[in-house]
């Protein structure tokens, strides 16, 4: 008879006891802040669906990074919005491109702040797809060349970690050999190994101006219904040389995160994406939920499910609360 011998409430009686037995802890260094670099100077172009987030010119990005560094957050994740987009995503692998200039400036001003660069083409193509479009679909193999050039260009600019998010087959291996051949054998690859074709990316596409002009991303991003396939994606990326993994989005995919945590012994991240952020902010703005509480609860659940660190638009807010 467990009761009355056992009373789990004994260990919940006060905050000191609860703190003593708490299983999952958060620290500012668990959070990575996504940032959007745009052309110009002194520019802060608010993203209407993502309260508190904006496209920032390089000078403003540097200010933001100083603040991020002083809060002790784990790093920043860099996206770029180029002035011109074309069919070949040429802005993505241009050494003088927007992200490359932002990375150089950040590494100069806040050298100890970890800079992760998102390696993808969708912000740079006129059609908004993540690679070379042939017959209304993204052609996998030629796209690998762009990705490899982009990753090397980011590393040359000073990126500490490159994070391919395009979901092309074979890109991790291709990026690994391109980095190695260019003298960047020490640059880790954080692979978005498991990225679902998700409606939760809606606000990001406004932020990054990367909505596909036709069709959708379902021929390269994963079907939300599939879990076993996620494990296979991870196995392949690790075989190709990925150092760390991302599961994305986070909250609707905690089962995937937990399954991956049990199977693979590499550092794992989860991306609490734009839609997850915006839903919480919108409900809080209506007074329906307590923003800080839900923010910490979701971040804790993502850590508990197995993420070592979290890419999140709450990075600064959460770090301030801790």
Q: Does 310 bind ligand PBG (CB under 6 A)?
A: no
Query: Least distance (Å) from ligand PBG to the CB of residue 223?
Result: 14
Q: Give the residue with the Cβ less far from ligand PBG, 122 or 256.
A: 122
Whole-number Å distance between alpha carbons of 267 and 237: 13
Q: Does 122 bind ligand PBG (CB under 6 A)?
A: yes
Q: Give the residue with the Cβ less far from ligand PBG, 58 or 311.
A: 311
User: Quick one: angle between helices 291-305 and 274-285, nearest 10?
Assistant: 150
82-89 CB contacts, 8 Å cutoff, 24+ apart: 82/39, 82/123, 82/124, 83/39, 85/123, 85/124, 85/125, 85/126, 86/124, 86/125, 86/126, 87/125, 87/126, 87/127, 87/132, 87/133, 88/125, 88/132, 88/146, 89/121, 89/124, 89/125, 89/131, 89/146
Coil vs helix vs strand at 142: helix
* Catalytically active residues, by annotation: 195, 248
Q: Give the residue with the Cβ less far from ligand PBG, 45 or 205.
A: 205
Q: Which stretch binds ligand PBG (CB under 6 A): 10-18, 201-209, 235-243, 255-263?
A: 201-209
User: DSSP letters of 252-264?
Assistant: GGHHHHHHHHHH-
Q: Does 204 bind ligand PBG (CB under 6 A)?
A: yes
Q: Does 314 bind ligand PBG (CB under 6 A)?
A: no
Q: Does 298 bind ligand PBG (CB under 6 A)?
A: no
- Considering only CA atoms, which of 275, 319, 318, 320 is closest in space to residue 293? 318
Which of 30, 64, 94, 118 forms a contact with ligand PBG (CB under 6 A)?
118
Q: Which stretch binds ligand PBG (CB under 6 A): 38-46, 100-108, 197-205, 252-260?
A: 197-205
Which of 105, 120, 152, 319 forms a contact with ligand PBG (CB under 6 A)?
120
- Considering only CA atoms, which of 161, 6, 144 is closest in space to residue 74? 161
Which of 31, 36, 201, 220 forms a contact with ligand PBG (CB under 6 A)?
201
Whole-number Å distance between alpha carbons of 206 and 187: 30
Whole-number Å distance between alpha carbons of 180 and 203: 35
Q: Give the residue with the Cβ less far from ligand PBG, 105 or 120.
A: 120
Query: Least distance (Å) from ligand PBG to the CB of residue 228?
Result: 22
- Binding residues for ligand PBG, total number by CB under 6 A: 11
Residue 153 contacts residue 178 (beta carbons within 8 Å): no
Q: Which stretch binds ligand PBG (CB under 6 A): 53-61, 64-72, 200-208, 250-258?
A: 200-208
Query: Least distance (Å) from ligand PBG to the CB of residue 35?
Result: 12
In sequence order, what are the residues at sequence separation of 6 or more whose Cβ sits closer than 8 angstroms to the Cβ of residue 80? 36, 37, 38, 91, 92, 97, 98, 99, 102, 123, 124
Q: Does 237 bind ligand PBG (CB under 6 A)?
A: no
Q: Does 274 bind ligand PBG (CB under 6 A)?
A: yes
Q: Which stretch binds ligand PBG (CB under 6 A): 5-13, 92-100, 198-206, 285-293?
A: 198-206
Token pair for 248? 């994305």
Q: Which stretch binds ligand PBG (CB under 6 A): 81-89, 106-114, 199-207, 285-293?
A: 199-207
Q: Does 165 bind ligand PBG (CB under 6 A)?
A: yes
Binding site for ligand PBG (CB under 6 A): 118, 120, 122, 165, 201, 204-205, 210, 217, 273-274
């Amino acid at each position: 008879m467990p009761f009355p011998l056992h009373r789990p409430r004994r260990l919940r009686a006060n905050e000191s006891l609860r703190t003593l037995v708490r299983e999952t802890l958060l620290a500012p260094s668990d959070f990575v802040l996504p940032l959007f670099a745009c052309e110009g100077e002194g520019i802060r172009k608010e993203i209407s669906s993502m309260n508190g987030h904006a496209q920032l010119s390089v000078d403003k990005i540097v200010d933001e990074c100083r603040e991020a560094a002083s809060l002790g957050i784990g790093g920043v994740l860099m996206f770029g919005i180029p002035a011109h987009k074309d069919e070949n995503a040429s802005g993505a692998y241009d050494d003088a491109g927007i992200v490359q200039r932002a990375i150089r400036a950040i590494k100069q001003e806040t050298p100890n702040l970890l800079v992760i660069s998102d390696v993808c083409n969708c912000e740079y193509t006129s059609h908004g797809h993540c690679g070379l479009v042939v017959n209304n679909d993204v052609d996998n193999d030629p796209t690998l060349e762009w990705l490899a050039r982009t990753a090397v260009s980011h590393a040359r600019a000073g990126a500490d970690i490159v994070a391919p998010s395009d979901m092309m087959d074979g890109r991790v291996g291709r990026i690994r050999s391109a980095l190695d051949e260019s003298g960047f054998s020490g640059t880790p690859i954080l692979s978005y190994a498991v990225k679902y074709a998700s409606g939760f990316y809606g606000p990001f596409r406004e932020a990054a101006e990367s909505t596909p002009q036709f069709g959708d991303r379902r021929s390269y991003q994963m079907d939300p219904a599939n879990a076993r396939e996620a494990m296979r994606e991870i196995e392949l990326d690790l075989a190709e040389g990925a150092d760390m993994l991302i599961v994305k989005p986070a909250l609707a995919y905690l089962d995937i995160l937990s399954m991956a945590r049990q199977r693979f012994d590499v550092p794992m991240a989860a991306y609490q994406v734009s839609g997850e952020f915006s839903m919480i902010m919108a409900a809080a703005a209506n007074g329906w939920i307590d923003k800080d509480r839900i923010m910490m609860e979701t971040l804790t659940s993502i850590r508990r499910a197995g993420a070592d660190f979290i890419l999140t638009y709450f990075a600064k807010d959460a770090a301030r609360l801790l």
